[in-house]
Amino acid sequence: MTAIPLILRSTQPPPSAKRYASSMGGTTAVIEKANKYVARRDLRFAATLLNHAVFADPDDEEAKEKPACVYDKLGHGAENATWRNLYLVGALDCKRASPGQRTRSRRRQ
């Protein structure tokens, strides 16, 4: 199971991300389109677009930062604690790691 919030609610697998990004004009174009949806407060669709951008180009720092902001907004706006936590952990993962890597919790000793 993955902890990427939109993959849990999506039928689109990450390997298709490069094809999505290419068909939309590249990663930069996907990010620009996602920013327009963020401005319209259509955060879930913006996150879907940004998810494709991250998986299409995992080394693009902007592509990793943008979904973290959107996931934060979705998490803080979620009424359900499970979805809130899932979005916020997804934001944390975007800030800390590349796609596919998991966040590791460390215990204090």
Range of the domain at 66: 5-96
Q: Which helix (H) or strand (E) holds 59?
A: none
Residue 78 Cα distances to 1, 17, 52, 72, 83, angstroms: 21, 26, 22, 10, 6
What pLDDT score does 3 carry? 67
Is position 107 within any domain?
Answer: no
CATH number, domain containing residue 27: 1.25.40.880
**pLDDT tens-digit readout, 34-46:** 999 999 999 999 9
**pLDDT tens-digit readout, 55-99:** 888 888 888 889 889 999 999 999 999 989 989 998 888 877 544
Is position 109 within any domain?
Answer: no
